[in-house]
Amino acid sequence: MNERPLIEVRNLRKTYGSRVVLDDISLAVSRGDVVCLIGSSGSGKSTLLRCLDLLEPIDDGVIEFEGREVSDPGVDPRDVRREIGMVFQAYNLFPHRTVLANCTLAPRKVHGLSRRAARSRAVELLGRFGLGEHVDVHPDQLSGGQQQRAALVRALCTEPKLLLLDEITAALDPELVGDVLGIVRDLAAAGTTMVLATHEMAFAREVASRVCFLDGGRVLESGPPEQVLGDPVEPRTREFLRRVLPA
Amino acid sequence: MLIASVATVVIIGGLAAAVVLSPGWARVRSSFFDPDEARRSFHPILEGFWLNVRMFLIAEPIILVAGLAIALARQARSPWLLPLRGLAVVYTDVVRGVPTILLVFLFVFGVPGLKLEGLTNSIFFWATVALVVSYSAYVAEVFRAGIESVHPSQVTSAEALALTRGQSMRYVIVPQALRRVIPPLLNDFVSLQKDTALVASVSLFDSLFTARDMAAYDFNYTPYVVVACFFIVITVPLARLCDWLSRWVVRRERAGVL
């Protein structure tokens, strides 16, 4: 039972017109895993995350969530997304709702929580992530780092089994990156299952249970962080790391 | 400041002088700006104008609801609603293509002409219907533009939270769209308020028809100017309200960020 991965993709293929974005991707994520996707822009990291959340139709292959084939057209993608939280590079908070109202929307409307239950859960999480004073303000009044933390709380409020993070620090000022990464580090330590696309190699090495290097829509190399980041086999991986890692 | 004042005085003064010193000014003044005629026509026109205002007040809420419904029908993606979507497209295209005054004729003279049981022949009713039909098509397009201006990432974000399409419309897209379309909507309000005068063409005793009646009786055009003043008194505050509201929306959501 425990052997079965939480989410697994096999031979996933995704194209936009004639352009192949993901090519024969296979990836299994078990409970408690933290999988870091690395690779240059356009290598397919974001698209892969969007496919995992069934936000993009796929051309070929299979996606299984808790052993159930969810890429089947008969499956309602919302049943799957209920169990998955996703955070985007540009936060994508709802600007017309307060931070609290952002965080309680899905728990109330999708998960059927009462207003009070949703509120107390959101307030507790916002407080834990240092946003206790900003519960009732609109997102535009917050800094980028605070907005991204609010977006993380919004995703966590539905108690997802899997968290997908799409370069969530890429749009932040350098001094705010640490804030957000600190939270992700805590989540990883608490055993949250995550797949994250990131450019923060030092962070990947620290939290990842596995690192996948994507190049041209394929997983070129995958393994424990010390191997992929420290002693890569593929020349493309070495070249990429030479470019992104400080000498 | 000084330059602005001088420029204003010179331009306004110049225009006023050009009118007042023109050879026909005495004639124009007595036939358009006769104080006695204005006084005499004030009350009848005020009564007629109340009809314009009533028509506006009845039509506007219905237009808002109908316009939003049409815009939402156009956004529908469910296969069940596909016929509705096509209907919404045809409706906005056709109705916007027909001059409003023709719609007034069609409804006021055409529908009672069908001699259907149980339908009223009230000119006021059918003239109001004509305005509702015409303006709901315009307002629907305003709503649609607002809905389409919301960034797709907001939709993605709502989808990722597993909201249904209806829920993301209701809680995420439409509220943002509404805030953005307030200024253009108020612009349409102003325009609707003026277009209530079109009903004068079907002999409804609104302000304009009353004025026409009096002008023809006394051979004096002053009542028309009185009507114009009535409309200005209503539409100028509406326009200011529109400016104020759009600033308020910006202040509220961008508070603290500049």
Structural contact between residues A209 and A224, judged by C-beta atoms closer than 8 angstroms? yes
pLDDT at B255: 53
Pairing assessment for the beta strands A19-29 and A210-215 based on DSSP bridges: unpaired
Contact B171 A109 (CB under 8 A): yes
Reply yes or no on whether the pLDDT at B222 is more than 50: yes
Task: Provide the sign of the torsion angle of the four alpha carbons A103, A105, A109, A112, taken in this order.
Answer: positive
pLDDT mean across residues, chain B: 89
Q: Which residues of B touch A140 (CB under 8 A)?
A: 253-257
- List pLDDT tens digits, range B52-70: 999 999 999 999 999 999 9
What is the per-residue pLDDT for B258?
39
Query: Higher pLDDT residue, B214 or A52?
Result: A52
Q: Which of B150, B156, B161 to mutate to test the interface with A (most CBs of A within 10 A)?
A: B161
Residues B129-133: contacts with CB within 8 Å, 24+ apart?
B130/B100, B130/B103, B130/B104, B130/B106, B131/B55, B131/B59, B131/B63, B131/B100, B131/B103, B131/B104, B131/B192, B131/B195, B131/B196, B131/B198, B132/B59, B132/B62, B132/B63, B132/B66, B133/B95, B133/B103, B133/B107
Substitution target from A65, A94, A137 for chain B, most B beta carbons within 10 A:
A94
pLDDT of residue A247: 57
**Which tokens in the block code for residue A79?**
């049943």
> b/e per residue, A152-180, with b = 16+ CB within 10 A?
bbbbbbbebbbbbbbbbbeebeeebbebb
Q: pLDDT in tens for each of the 247 residues of chain A? A: 456 899 999 999 999 999 999 999 999 999 999 999 999 988 999 999 999 999 999 999 999 999 999 999 889 999 999 999 999 999 999 999 999 999 999 999 999 999 999 999 999 999 999 999 999 999 988 999 999 999 999 999 999 999 999 999 988 888 888 888 999 999 999 999 999 999 889 899 999 999 999 999 999 999 999 999 989 999 999 999 998 877 5
- Return d(Cα A67, Cα B226) in angstroms, integer: 78
Give domain status of residue B250, yes or no: yes
Whether residue B20 is contained in a domain is answered as no
Give the ipTM: 0.90
- Does residue B7 sit within a domain? no
Q: Pairing mode, if any, of strands A194-197 and A68-69? A: unpaired
CB contact under 8 Å between B162 and A53, yes or no, is no
Is B111 inside a domain boundary? yes
Tokens of A54: 């069934």
Partners of A105 on chain B (C-beta within 8 Å) are 161, 163, 171-172
Q: The pTM is what?
A: 0.83
Q: Which of residues 154-213 of A touch B (CB under 8 A)?
A: 154, 158
For the beta carbon of residue A32, count every other beta carbon within 10 angstroms: 13
Whole-angstrom distance, CA of residue A154 vs CA of residue A136: 14
CA distance A181 to A206: 11
Q: Residue B247 — pLDDT band, cuts 50, 70, 90?
A: confident
Q: Is B29 within the bounds of a domain?
A: no
Give the nearest chain A residue to B166 (CA atoms). Answer: A109
Residue written as tokens 């309602």?
Answer: A76
CATH number for B134: 1.10.3720.10
Given a contact cutoff of 8 angstroms between Cβ atoms, the answer to whether B66 and B135 are in contact is no
pLDDT given for residue B145 in this prediction: 94
pLDDT above 90 as % of chain B: 48
Please tell me which of the candidates B153, B176, B256 has its beta carbon nearest to residue A141: B256
Distances in whole angstroms, Cα of residue B33 to Cα of each of A127, A156, A175, B12, B233: 70, 71, 71, 19, 18
**Predicted confidence (pLDDT) per residue in B131-186, tens digit:** 999 999 999 999 999 999 999 999 999 999 999 999 999 999 999 998 888 888 88
Exposure string of A71-92, with b = 16+ CB inside 10 Å and e = fewer, is beeeeebbebbbbbbbbbbbbb
Q: Is B154 on the interface with A (CB under 8 A)?
A: yes
pLDDT band, very low/low/confident/very high, at B243 (cuts 50, 70, 90)? confident
Task: Please tell me the total count of domains within chain B.
Answer: 1
Q: In the prediction, which pLDDT does B70 show?
A: 94
Structural domain of B62: 36-257
B171 part of contact set with chain A, CB < 8 Å: yes
Tokens linked to B71: 């815009």
- From B157's Cα to the closest Cα of chain A, the distance in A is 6
Residue B193, pLDDT > 50, answer yes
